Structure 1
Amino acid sequence: MISANEPFERRHPSQTNLDPKTSFSYENEGSDIRLPVPAEFSFAENVAHLSTATNESLYTLREGRIYKAIAVGREDTVVEIAADGDTHLRIRFIEEPASDSPTLREGVARYVHDWFDLGTDLKPFYEMARQDPLLKQAVVSFYGLRNMGIPDLYEAICWGILGQQINLAFAYTLKRRFVEKFGRVIERAGESYWLFPTAEDLASFTPEDLSAAGMTTVKKCEYLVDTARLIASGELTKEQLLQTGDVKQAEKMLVKIRGIGPWTAHYVLMRCLRMPDAFPIDDVGLHHSIRHVLGLDTKPSKERILELSAGWTQWESYATFYLWRFLY
C-alpha cells in the first residue's frame, strides 16, 4: 500500500493499491494509473456502446479513447481512458498539476472501476445466457460489454426522471441543457469537459429556476429539486439503499419520492446501485428488443416477458442491458 506521505517520484510501477473488501486494485506507473480488467471485458465493445449516445455531454470519444471529467471530493480532474493490452485500462491525467495526490488517484481509479462495473464476474451470466433463446445472440454479438453505470445517485435519478415518457434523443438534449446550465466545466488542453451538477448545487434552486432554463415540464423540475434536497440533506443516500440488501425494499424506498415510479426506481437500482435483479420490466426499449429478437409482430405482454425471463434469476439487470444494446 502506497503511503500518502511518500513522494510521487519514488513510487515504483509495480506497487499496487488493494482494497480487500472489494478486490479493487490499481497500479501506479509513472503519472498514469493501470487498472486491471477481467477476462470477460472488451474495451472496444464498451466504447462502441458509448458511441451510440447522441449529444452526450459528460464524456468525449476520440480515436478509440474516452475523455471524461471526474470529481473526487472537492477535486475535479480530466482523464483519458484507453485499453492497455487485454488485461488493463490505462488512465492518463490531462494537464493535472495534482496528479500525484494519492486521494485523487484512488478516487479516479475507483470511479472508473465502478463506471465499467469491473467488479462483477460475468462468467455465470454468459453460461446462463448461451442457453437462453433471448440472450444467446446478444452475448455473442456484444461479448465483453459491461453494464456501464452511473456511480452518482443524484445523476442516476435525474437521468431517470429526464427520460420519462420522451424519446432518447430529446432526453440527451435535456441532459446537455441541464449539465451546461447547472454543472461545472473544466478546461484542459483547449477542450471543455463537463461535470454533472451535484445534489448540493441544485438544492439551492427552485423548480421555477429549472423551468426558466428550459428543463421540460414544471413537474419534472419539481422532482429534480425535491430529490436534490433529499440527497443534500442526507435523507437519501446510496448507503441506505444498499443496506436494504433487497431490490424490493430498495424500490419501496425510492417510489416514496415524488417523480419516481417503478421504472425509474429499477433503472436507478440497475445503473447506480448495481443490484443484479433490478428489472425495469415495463421499459419500452426492452419490449422492442424482445420483439426484435423473436421476430414478433407486436410487443410481448408482461406475462410473456415474465415467462421468457424465468431463467434470468439474479441476472435480470444484465439481461436487460444486453437486450437494450440491440437498439441503442
Structure 2
Amino acid sequence: MSCPSYWVEAKEYLADKDKILAYLISLYPDETIINYHNPFYTLVKAIIGQQISVNAANAISKRLESLLGTISIETYLAMDSEALRQCGLSRPKISYITNIAQAFEQGILTPQIWPMMSDQEVISQLISIKGIGLWTAQMFLIFHLHRSDILPLADLGLINAIQRHYGQSQRLTKGEIQELSQVWKPYRTVATWYLWRSLDPIPVQY
C-alpha cells in the first residue's frame, strides 16, 4: 500500500488557498488515500460503491473478501454467481465485474501503459467496458492511479459536502462548483477527499 507522492505538498497548498479546507485538513492530519496496487480490486470496490452509501459498500466488500479470500480476477471468475449474490452484489454489478475481469484477461484494459496516458485517455478506455461510467473511472483515477486533479461532479457525497461547507442557504450549481474549485487546482483530488472525509465516519478507500 502507498499514498500519493504529492499528498503533503497538496495539503499545504490547499490549506494556504482555502480556509475551509485548511480546517478540514487539520481534523485529519495523518489520513490519506491508499493505493492497494491492484487495479482489478480498485475497480471492483468502485463498482460495489456505485449508488450506495460508504457503509453499505464496505459491508459488501468485506463479505466478498471473506468469500474469495483475495479479490482477484481468478478468484472472482471461479466463484458461483449465487454465492456472489449472497454477499450483497446485485445481478447487474456481478455482470459488470465479470466484464471487467474478462477485459483484463483479453487485454482490452492495459494497466501497463496507464501511467503514460492522460486522464481522459484512461477514462475513455475504462468507459468502453459495460458497467464502468464516468464516476467509476474517476474513482479509479483517484484511488489507483493517484491522479492529482480529479473533481467527480457526479458524486453526490462531494456535492453534498461542498453544499454544506460553501453553499450556506443557496443551492450551488455545477458551474458554480467548477468555478469554486479553480482555486484547488492542481490538487482537486485532495480537496475532494477531505470534503468526503468531512461527511463520512470512516475514510473513503477503493
TM > 0.5: yes
Equivalent residue in structure 1 for 2:95, among 195, 205, 222: 222
AA aligned opposite 2:57: A
- Match for 2:8 among 105, 115, 122? 122
**Rounded Cα–Cα distance in structure 2 between residues aligned with 1:179 and 1:295:** 39
Counterpart pick for 1:312 among 181, 184, 192: 184
Opposite residue 324 of structure 1, the aligned amino acid is W
Residues 280, 251 of structure 1: alpha-carbon distance in 2 compared, 3 angstrom cutoff: same
> C-alpha distance in 1, partners of 2:7/2:49?
29
| Higher normalized strand content (fraction of residues) | 1
Aligned match of 2:76: 202
- Retained in 1: the 8 A contact 2:126–2:132? yes
In structure 1, what residue type is equivalent to 2:180? L
Is 1:156 paired with 2:45? no
1:265 matched to 2:137? The reply is yes
The aligned residue for residue 277 of structure 1 is 149
CA contact (8 A) 1:208 1:221 kept: no
Q: Secondary structure at the match of 1:135?
A: helix
Q: Deviations over 1:3-61 (max 9, x none)?
A: xxxxxxxxxxxxxxxxxxxxxxxxxxxxxxxxxxxxxxxxxxxxxxxxxxxxxxxxxxx
State percent identity of aligned pairs. Answer: 25
Q: Measure, in 1, the Cα distance between the counterparts of 2:76 and 2:100.
A: 9
Residues 1:229 and 1:208: Cα distance change in structure 2 (over 3 Å): farther
Q: What does the per-residue CA deviation read over 1:286-305, in whole Å, with 9 as the maximum and x for residues that have no partner?
A: 11211221262465321111
Unaligned runs of at least 5 residues, structure 2: 201-206
- In the alignment, does 2:131 pair up with 1:240? no
* Alignment partner, residue 324 of structure 1: 196
CA distance in 1, matches of 2:113, 2:176: 34
1:66-85 equivalent positions in 2, closer than 5 A: none
Look up the match of 1:6.
Answer: none
Contact kept? 2:24, 2:198, Cα under 8 Å: yes
Q: C-alpha displacement at 1:157, in angstroms?
A: 0.5
| Aligned counterparts of 1:220 and 1:157: Cα–Cα separation in 2 | 11
Query: Residue by residue, what CA displacement relative to the aligned partner does 1:152-192 show, whole Å, maximum 9, x if unpaired?
Result: 1111111111111112222122112211112x2xxxxxxxx
Tell me, in whole angstroms, the C-alpha distance in 2 between the residues paired with 1:275 and 1:308. Answer: 20
| Gaps in structure 1 of 5+ consecutive residues | 1-110, 185-195
Of 120, 128, 131, which aligns to 2:17? Answer: 131
Q: Is the 8 Å Cα contact of residues 200 and 232 (structure 1) preserved in structure 2?
A: no
Q: Describe the superposition over 1:178-230 as per-residue Cα deviations: whole angstroms up to 9, x where unpaired.
A: 11112x2xxxxxxxxxxx3111222344655533x344321111001111122
- 8 Å contact kept, 1:207–1:225: no
Over the aligned positions, Cα root-mean-square deviation in angstroms equals 2.2
Structure-to-structure mapping, 1:142-153, within 5 angstroms: 142-153=28-39
Number of residue pairs matched? 200
CA shift in 2, pair 1:233/1:208, >3 Å:
farther
Q: Is the 8 A contact 2:37 2:144 kept in 1?
A: yes
Q: Match of 1:228, as an amino acid?
A: A
Give, in angstroms, the shift of residue 147 of structure 1.
1.9
Write the letter of the residue equivalent to 2:176.
R
Distance 1:221 1:239 in 2: 25
The CA deviation at 1:144 is: 3.8
State the alpha-carbon separation in 2 of the partners of residues 319 and 177 from structure 1: 30
Bigger radius of gyration, 1 or 2?
A: 1
What amino acid is aligned across from residue 227 of structure 1 in structure 2? Answer: I
More helix by share: 2
Instruction: Please give the TM-score of this superposition, normalised by the length of structure 1.
Output: 0.56
Q: Name the amino acid aligned to 2:23.
A: Q
| Cα deviation, residue 239, structure 1 | 2.1
- Distance, in Å, in 2 between the alignment partners of 1:313 and 1:125 is 12
* Counterpart Cα distance in 1 of 2:10 and 2:84: 44
Higher RCO (C-alpha under 8 Å, 6+ residues apart)? 2
